[in-house]
Amino acid sequence: MQVWPGSAYPLGATFDGNGTNFALFSEGAEKVELCLFDENGEETRVELIDVDAFVWHAYLPSVQPGQRYGYRVHGPYDPANGQRFNPNKLLLDPYAKAVDGQIEWDQSVFSYTFGDPDSTNDDDSAAAMMKGVVVNPYFDWQGDRQPKTPYAESVIYEAHVKGLTMTHPDIPEDIRGTYSAIAHPVVIEHLKKIGVTALELMPVHQFVNDSTLQEKELSNYWGYNTIAFLAPQNTYSAAGGVGQQVQEFKAMVRALHAAGIEVILDVVYNHTAEGNHMGPTLSMRGIDNAAYYRLEDDDKRYYTDYTGTGNSLNVGNPHTLQLIMDSLRYWVLEMHVDGFRFDLASTLAREFYDVDRLSAFFELVQQDPVVSQVKLIAEPWDIGPGGYQVGNFPPQWTEWNGKYRDTVRDFWRGEPSTLGEFALRLTGSADLYEQDGRWPVASINFVTAHDGFTLRDLVSYNEKHNEANGEDNNDGESHNRSFNHGVEGATDDPEILTVRARQQRNFLATLLLSQGVPMISHGDELGRTQGGNNNGYAQDNEITWIDWSSVDQPLVEFTSVLARLRRDHPTFRRRRFFDGRPVRREEGSPLPDIAWVRPDGSEMQPEDWDSGFGRAVGVFLNGDGIRERDRRGEEIHDRHFFVYFNAGDEAVDFTIPTATASPRWEVLVDTAGGAADSPVIEPGGSVTVGAKALVVLRDHEEEIVESDPSVAASLAALTGTIDVIPAQAPPAELPH
């Protein structure tokens, strides 16, 4: 076998059309061996002789795509000083672009003997280890172009590759649960129907299935246990052949882009699957433990843990930062993804101890010409001291707004003293984002996510029911801000079912009509349930998979029309915050861009916000007060709206103020259905908002409804006006 010196850059295994360059960083290594495996598992070792700036490298002209490989790194085994080299452990390349196989859990993958963490275990782990794969970087993108949807026009859909597609009857069985299933026309059609512009995939970086979960006959379903930051998860691939998951992933992205849907990856750069000092030696621990991981200053045998998973990546080390940045650029440039959601992002800001928004990681992202131009979404917390950082990330970042989730849940379940904060969250959370020059789109609004109750369970359970996880129901969040409306879980009581259905519509309507970027958790629009399990991380089964045989089709239609209402009206997706200033009009007195009103039609007063018992409020949205320009430089004007919220247990009559921008108002949305009896209302008239209900009014222009049957059909689907629903629509009474 010919071995040439090769190059120290790029890191990883890089096929150039003739052969493959291998490069591995290790500052503490004394010797590095590249290990090549044939189809029978036979190993050939190649010592890497050339070293530049701690990067060991070689070029092998005979190595082609599909070659499986790993490393053995020689050096001191001295845990007390943070060194854990052991050449008996086959190590996965941190830069592997594809991975073959899974870990077989036995003693060999651990560097110590069970029962004695300070001992040394020299069992060879090659047979039990997954291997890196040399990939073919060439792919026919067929002119693929990234949609680059502005944040203000985005609707994000958080989904799990397997959970979204595993039971869909129209997807061939042999591709369900895979990237190919995501690319199937029925999935794309559904996403487009409900207005999705970006699919946010839960972790697809290669992850490890924990041995502790396997012993319980469970698995790491969510995938927040990464081991290779450049490799797509191989179990999500339907393609045959070693390394073919890369091609399949690219084909999925290409299909979604062709439909105008962006791909955002949920990435886990805060820790790896190697865990704490009792964990296995799989990759970075054996390559250069002290460089890749944060170690305790007073005893380097132990790992600093800000994630609750055993370790934290050492983002204060330039080589670790390089790995993260190289990974991000690879997924954008080579895999064509459109953005990232950073799991426990506060950990990445802990350059030393405290969370620092000016840490090296954020500086690197800021100046990077590739990564800085895609969507960057932070989960702005971790479990360390001072880790809750909602509202404190740099200006180019957006954030999962946990305060939005909590406030909206509390408002609709009738908690006291929520009215004022509800108004803040509905209008983009200016209190969190305006002070540092960000706009409403900095807020990624959500009511539910993968972690916690589904939307249906949120209105069906008071308590978590996680017994299937095997932890005596001690895992998962206990304070869910949920309400079962009288019965815990499933019921056939029609009154309870009615209010639960209404509450689901309230949450979805609030989400899609709020300023900021809405994020829907997969299956919420379908009525998905996990039976009260609010921590389905280990349930790779029917508990977490969407049941496509039991779909709440009326809720799908409701979500679809609401998404279209948002898409068609920039009033609900402003790029700038409301300022309350009057807007000039050709006729009548100027009106502000936003005004909050009481049920009697008068303006809300400070004492109304602070009353503690307020449950009902209305808001006027002035379509002439957007004060923005479109892409052609023309001023944006829209229709005028009233949105009325009633979280109380009794219906409320709202009087329409007489000094409005329209002589008449029409009912667009009524989550309770009753307002449809009076679809057009005069100023000074009133609209009844049912108990726990939401009503949307739009200024009435009769010719629009009469000339646009699609609008009429939309109104019917939401208000129950049965005589204008086209034949292909679902039965008119179902949305209620």
DSSP result, 45-90: EEE--EEETTEEEEEETT--TT-EEEEEEE--EEGGGTEE--TTS-
Quote the crossing angle between the two packed helices 318-333 and 284-292, to the nearest 10°: 120
pLDDT reading at 135 higher than 50: yes
* 35: its two tokens: 């290990």
Q: What is the mean pLDDT of residues 276-291?
A: 97
- Integer angstrom CA distances of residue 223 from 337, 547, 654: 19, 21, 48
CATH code given to domain 594-699? 2.60.40.1180
pLDDT reading at 730 higher than 50: no
The DSSP code sequence of 492-549 is --HHHHHHHHHHHHHHHHHHHHSSSEEEEETTGGGT---TT-S-GGG--STTTS--TT
d(CA 126, CA 624): 67
Comparing 673 with 332, the larger pLDDT belongs to 332
Any idea of the CA torsion for 135, 141, 145, 147, to the nearest 10 degrees? -70
pLDDT reading at 674 higher than 90: no
Q: What is the mean pLDDT of residues 496-511?
A: 98
d(CA 436, CA 590): 30
d(CA 368, CA 700): 49
Angle at 726 between CA 722 and CA 729, to 5 degrees: 85
Q: Look up 434 and say whether it is catalytic.
A: no
Question: pLDDT-derived band of residue 449, with 50, 70 and 90 as boundaries?
Answer: very high
Percent of the chain with pLDDT over 70: 93
* 712: its two tokens: 């009429």
Q: What is the mean pLDDT of residues 698-711?
A: 55
Burial class (CB in 10 A: 0-12, 13-18, 19+), 629: exposed
Kind plus residue range of the DSSP H or E element containing 23: strand 20-25
d(CA 144, CA 253): 9
Q: What is the mean pLDDT of residues 595-613?
A: 89
pLDDT digits (tens, 9 = 90+) for 178-231: 999 999 999 999 999 999 999 999 999 999 999 999 999 999 999 999 999 999
What is the separation of C-alpha 55 from the centre of its chain, rounded to a whole number of angstroms? 35
d(CA 414, CA 150): 34
Q: What is the pLDDT of residue 684?
A: 86
Instruction: Read off the DSSP letter of residue 604.
Output: P
Q: What is the mean pLDDT of residues 81-92?
A: 97
- Integer angstrom CA distances of residue 317 from 126, 352, 536: 29, 10, 34
**Beta pairing partners, 24:** 56
Q: 566 Cβ partners below 8 Å, 6+ apart?
A: 155, 195, 512, 513, 518, 572, 573
pLDDT reading at 170 higher than 70: yes
Question: pLDDT-derived band of residue 590, with 50, 70 and 90 as boundaries?
Answer: confident
pLDDT reading at 475 higher than 90: yes
Phi, psi of 82 (to 5 degrees): 80, 10
Q: What is the pLDDT of residue 358?
A: 59
pLDDT reading at 535 higher than 60: yes
Cβ count within 10 A of residue 334: 15
pLDDT reading at 726 higher than 60: no
Q: What is the pLDDT of residue 570?
A: 96
As a residue count, the chain comes to 736
Catalytic residue among 343, 421, 552, 666: 343
CB 658 within 8 A of CB 608: no
Q: What is the mean pLDDT of residues 516-536?
A: 98
CB 462 within 8 A of CB 456: no
pLDDT digits (tens, 9 = 90+) for 266-283: 999 999 999 999 999 999
Range among 184-198, 632-646, 668-682, 717-731 rated most confident? 184-198
Q: What is the pLDDT of residue 240?
A: 81
CB 426 within 8 A of CB 619: yes
pLDDT digits (tens, 9 = 90+) for 676-694: 566 788 888 999 999 999 9
Q: Which region, left, alpha or beta, applies to residue 30 given φ > 0 means left and ψ of -120 to 50 means alpha?
A: alpha
d(CA 130, CA 105): 11
Q: What is the pLDDT of residue 123?
A: 97
Question: pLDDT-derived band of residue 722, with 50, 70 and 90 as boundaries?
Answer: very low
Percent of the chain with pLDDT over 90: 82
pLDDT reading at 636 higher than 60: yes
Q: What is the mean pLDDT of residues 689-709?
A: 74
Low-confidence winner among 5-19, 238-252, 666-680 (lowest mean pLDDT):
666-680
Q: Look up 343 and say whether it is catalytic.
A: yes
Q: What is the pLDDT of residue 614?
A: 83
pLDDT reading at 615 higher than 50: yes
Residues 476, 481, 485, 486: is their CA dihedral positive or negative?
Answer: positive
Cβ count within 10 A of residue 42: 8
Any idea of the CA torsion for 8, 11, 15, 21, to the nearest 10 degrees? 30
Phi, psi of 374 (to 5 degrees): -110, 175
pLDDT reading at 374 higher than 80: yes
Q: What is the pLDDT of residue 554?
A: 96
Q: What is the pLDDT of residue 423?
A: 96
Angle at 254 between CA 248 and CA 255, to 5 degrees: 90
Burial class (CB in 10 A: 0-12, 13-18, 19+), 75: buried
Phi, psi of 213 (to 5 degrees): -75, -40
Q: What is the pLDDT of residue 353?
A: 61
CB 93 within 8 A of CB 284: no
Mean pLDDT taken over the chain: 92
Whether 161-262 and 594-699 share one fold: the answer is no
Q: Which fold has domain 161-262?
A: Transcription Regulator spoIIAA (3.30.750)
* Domain residue ranges of the chain, discontinuous segments joined by +: 12-134, 161-262, 449-577, 594-699
- Integer angstrom CA distances of residue 212 from 120, 172, 441, 465, 529: 22, 33, 40, 21, 26
Q: 634 Cβ partners below 8 Å, 6+ apart?
A: none
Q: 472 Cβ partners below 8 Å, 6+ apart?
A: none
Q: What is the pLDDT of residue 351?
A: 64
pLDDT reading at 167 higher than 70: yes
pTM recorded for the entire structure: 0.94
Q: What is the pLDDT of residue 707?
A: 34
Q: What is the pLDDT of residue 675?
A: 61
12-134 CATH pick, 2.60.40.10, 3.40.50.300, 1.25.40.10, 3.40.190.10: 2.60.40.10
Query: Which residue is listed with tokens 């699957």?
Result: 273
pLDDT reading at 493 higher than 60: yes
Q: What is the pLDDT of residue 663?
A: 79
pLDDT reading at 731 higher than 90: no
Catalytic residue among 33, 200, 326, 379: 379
